Amino acid sequence: MLNGKTILVTGGTGSFGNAFTQYVLDHYTPKKIIIYSRDEYKQFIMANKFRKYKDTLRFFIGDVRDKERLYRAFDGVDYVVHAAALKQVPSCEFFPIEAVKTNVLGTENVLTAAIEASVKNIVCLSTDKAAYPVNAMGTSKAMMEKVIVAKSRTVKPEKTKICCTRYGNVLCSRGSVVPLWIEQIKAGNPITITEPSMTRFIMSLDEAVDLVLFAFEKGVSGDILVQKAPACTIEVLAKAITELFEPGHEIRVIGIRHGEKMYETLLTNEECANAVDMGKFYRVPCDKRDLNYDKYFKDGDKERNTLTEFNSSNTELLNVEQVKEKLLSLAYIREELEMWQKEQGK
């Protein structure tokens, strides 16, 4: 599928971009992979990491807010993964307009430039926080999804296919809670959790990459493709980390932060009306009706699917041992654990 193709990844120096790039280089022979991002230092680090692929990788400094720069970057590109985003909940709460500029308007810029450049296939990354959003980050991502679906209606899918993926928390991604807890343990401080009974979906970067590749291959333009995933309570996740690194380490409850939910949703009740269960994933197809108000007044959903809301409290809940097993499947955890054990003389 990606052999001989030119692929561009916005926000490509992030955790997903690194994992996606590694997977593509390991399993395909692309013509070129373009990493498009704002941070020259992260590009320097990534270029060193993948230095043996220097003939395949290209790095573009640019911001998704800059449409003209995107036009330049997309020349000759076949596939786009749009991963650039403001993702930190507290930052977006304090600077919501910045979240809009990047997550909503930036996505509009990416899609417009990609269509103008005749990019064949675009997959945009969304989050469980976009379903029933209660914070600025989730709200901006929900609007991003609306932009994606609306934009897909403006172009023939044989020219440019546009899909969106939605998934939950990625374990050990940059800025996530597990690396923070490991730092707290190493510093000799209690690890801090907000609310022990809070549930969150958990998945690996490899699973996130798998969903994007599925969207490239099987998605229909306008689709939102939802990752099915297990979940666990925050208390279980914290206990799993402490048992791996330092059994009995203090866990301190600090209370729920602004904009946090007790559980996250990946598939809403409203989306269940037309969603398709595809085994590992749910498919939420685009509403293909045009803007004919008469139809909206007269036509509704006569038959609804029997699917129900899919959230982090009604999915499979993992116990401590299961979470430890999942954590140990990640190279990041194995490397951190090995370094920690050497430091402790174990």
Residues forming beta bridges with residue 130, ordered by sequence position? none
Q: Is 129 among the residues known to form the active site?
A: yes
3-state SS class at 266: strand
Catalytic residue among 42, 129, 151, 324: 129
d(CA 203, CA 321): 16
| Cβ atoms of 244 and 337 closer than 8 Å | yes
- φ, ψ (nearest 5 deg) of residue 190: -60, 145
Tokens describing residue 118: 């005749």
| Cβ atoms of 142 and 135 closer than 8 Å | no
| CA-wise closest residue to 217 among 70, 15, 3 | 3
| Cβ atoms of 233 and 199 closer than 8 Å | yes
Q: Report H helices in the chain.
A: 15-27, 40-49, 67-73, 89-94, 96-99, 106-116, 136-152, 177-186, 205-218, 234-245, 269-272, 293-298, 320-328, 331-343
Active site residues: 129
